Amino acid sequence: MATKVVGVPVDLESGTAEAAKGEIYHVTVEDRTLFRYDGCIIKVVNKYGHLHGHVQPDTVVLKVGDVQVTDDNFDKIYEHAQLPMKLELQRPSAEELELKRRSTLGNVEEAQVITKELLVSLILMYFSAFIDMFGMLVSNPVLPFLMPVMGFSEVQLGMLTTFYNLASIPGIILIGILMTRCGTRVAMLFSLLGSAVTLAAQGALIQWVMASEDPTQQKYYYIFLALRLAAGATGSSMPVAMTFIGMKVPREEKAKHFALCSGSMAMAIATAPMVGGTLADFTPQFSLPFYVGAIFAFCGFVAGRSKLMNAKKPPSTGKRESFTKPIVAMISVIAIKMLCYGAFIVMGVAYYMWKFELQPAEVGSMLSLHGVITAINHNLFVPRLVKKFGAEQAFMMGTILMVVGSAIVGFMETLWAFQAAFSLVLGVGFSIVSSGGNVVCDKYATQATRGAMNSAIFAVDNMSLFASGLIYGKMLQVAKAEQQGYLYWLTACGFATLLSVAFAVVWKFMLLPVLRKRKSEEEKMLTAAAQHKMKFVPEPEPTDSDYMQYGKFVVDLLQRRSWSWRSKREYIEALMELFLVELPTDTLEHRMDVIWELREKARQASRDRKTIDEFYDQLSKVSIP
């Protein structure tokens, strides 16, 4: 049977039409069992019929032949119209199709529970994020003390830090390509192996320099800079970890695991400076911290090869999906975060050494203390705060704490007063903003955009850190010249204020309207989902008249079709019990699928039997010589 379709082209492969609601097309129907309807709306299309692929569920029937139909008269007109009949149909809108898709499919990638296998993969993801931050920070207590040994200037010292962050931008592009084509597993293994190789290479270079007769040769510095660039390009596991969490972790658990991932970086902040400062004086001098980091990274690579799960975005079915406006706005806001906190990450060691005259081991201890406090915030405090108040409210609280902390920390003249103000106010605010920002962005992402979104967040963070190296190097010179620590933190306070105001504007004028619209859509989705649920009402108890009527029909049918209905009664009853299966009552789609499948199997068996009969009939007419 051919289907006559007039109007807008139909995508037969996906069954979707390239038309908006309001455009009309026509089909010719030669069988009344091709679809199930409710009023004049087609609810389910028989996948064994010739309309499948041409007519979508929720299509509206406007006319049967030349007769206009409504919900009230369609059933009567359709059942009595002469076959074949012509139907005039109206396609559902793209919005209605999207609501139906979301209500029936949902987020198919998300797990429902945290399995043992998933938990192991999450731990490995956290470990890789830890190694990346460890590799960047383990050198912080070491680099200032390499200045007199290798003979490079303060500007060159800043370049070693800032170019590490700058190199992560092309690294993120490569990581994004790997995530898209191969999934998060390959991308994470690449990052771990890259960290192991580059950390070991940096350690070997420093050991070579220390053994050289003239360690101040510029070639050593440029080789070191090249290795830092390579380390920054490969150490981009944070967006991989965030993407894996977004795709695999149940929605209600995401805030906690985003915070744990950020907490793993906080643990690196706690341990890397201490390891770098403590091991710097052990043999091989200044190299041992890098070797330790390389060993950790390689162990993670070996474990990941056998234990790491994979998460890959669904294949593209059409036009590439772009970021929504809330994601673009939030990424722009999040970029300001590191312009404030970069005062600590990029030049914090130099500030400690100038303001409080600390040695490498002492600097490492103070940085580690801050890291411990930050890890506690990420792992214990932030998830509870986000769960209680919501991601947006928590993010706003974090920005306010960053403003207050950066405003007062520069006036603290003693080490412990400074550490308390920084770690317990500004540091807490940063922890909330860091984790809360990821949760906010994830709310507006899809499986197709989540990987690119996390890469973009990581890229803007590193661009901000690169800019911080340029800004705070100059600000530290000003603070040293004036002997006033608050001058150094004045710029950080300005960025924190800008962050708070920018988020308040985005929250009020962009996020809240989108959330209100989403709430309305979710209500529509619930309504759409409820329409697919079947409220089954069983037939009333059969009467004597029903038994007589249906019994006569069955016996007459068996007699007419040469069944031994009396002598083989038990066999026939058993056969009918097999054929008349119990029908599902959950959804109309499920119920009709079972009915139409049984019908198609019976029709196919009938066709097969006729073919066999025709074959034997032809065979009987063949004369044997």
Q: Where are the domains of the chain?
A: 10-97, 116-313+323-511
* 499 close to 340: Cβ distance less than 8 angstroms: yes
Q: Say if residue 92 is preceded by a cis peptide, omega within 30 of 0.
A: no
Beta bridge partners of 67: 64
Residue 280: pLDDT band (50, 70, 90) is: low
- Quote the distance between the C-alpha of residue 399 and its chain's center: 25
* Mean pLDDT, range 327-351, rounded to an integer: 86
Q: What is the pLDDT of residue 395?
A: 94
Q: Looking at mean pLDDT, say which of 347-351, 367-371, 405-409, 558-562 comes out highest.
A: 405-409
Q: How many CB atoms lie within 10 A of CB 513?
A: 11
| Per-residue tokens: 89 | 């149909």
Q: Where does 10-97 sit in CATH, by number? A: 2.30.42.10
* Encoded amino acid at 469, one letter: G
Residues 6 or more apart from 36 whose CB is under 8 A from it?
Answer: 42, 43, 44, 588, 592
Strands 24-29 and 41-45: unpaired
User: Is the CB of residue 477 less than 8 Å from the CB of residue 292?
Assistant: no
Q: Which of 29, 1, 48 is nearest to 593 (CA)?
A: 48
pLDDT at 319: 55
Task: Express each pLDDT in 197-252 by its tens digit.
Answer: 998 998 898 889 888 888 888 888 889 889 988 888 887 787 888 888 888 888 77
Structure tokens belonging to residue 494: 């300005």
Q: Is the pLDDT of residue 398 over 90?
A: yes
Mean pLDDT of the chain: 79
Tokens describing residue 389:
């108040």
Helices 184-211 and 154-182, axial angle in degrees (round to 10): 150
Q: How many CB atoms lie within 10 A of CB 588?
A: 20
Distance CA 506, CA 530 (A): 34
The per-residue pLDDT for 624 is 56
Assess contact for 533 and 377: CB atoms under 8 A.
Answer: no
Rounded to whole angstroms, the Cα distance separating 448 from 268 reads: 30
- Rounded distance between C-alpha atoms, residue 250 and residue 386, angstroms: 16
Closest CA to 312 of 194, 178, 111, 122: 178
- Nearest one of 282, 242, 289 to 135, comparing CA atoms: 289
Burial 391-404 (b: 16+ CB within 10 A, else e): bbebbbbbbbbbbb
pLDDT value at position 4?
Answer: 40
Answer whether residue 441 shows pLDDT above 80.
Answer: yes
Percent pLDDT > 90 in the chain is: 11
- Residue with structure tokens 């920018």? 502
Single out the residue of 418, 435, 438 nearest to residue 376, CA to CA.
435
Structural element, H or E, at residue 163? helix 154-182
* Range among 54-58, 85-89, 161-165 rated most confident: 85-89
Query: In the predicted model, is pLDDT for residue 18 greater than 50?
Result: no
Say how far apart CA 425 and CA 406 lie, in whole Å: 8
Q: Where are the beta strands (DSSP E) in 403-449?
A: none
Q: What is the identity of the amino acid at 118? A: L
Which has more pLDDT, 592 or 419? 419
The CATH architecture annotation of domain 116-313+323-511 reads: Up-down Bundle (1.20)
Write down the pLDDT at residue 95: 58
Higher pLDDT, 543 or 148: 543
Highest mean pLDDT among 57-66, 139-148, 502-511, 522-531: 502-511
Q: What is the pTM of this model?
A: 0.57
- 21 touches 29 (CB < 8 A): no
Q: Please determine, for residue 263, whether its predicted confidence score (pLDDT) is greater than 60.
A: yes
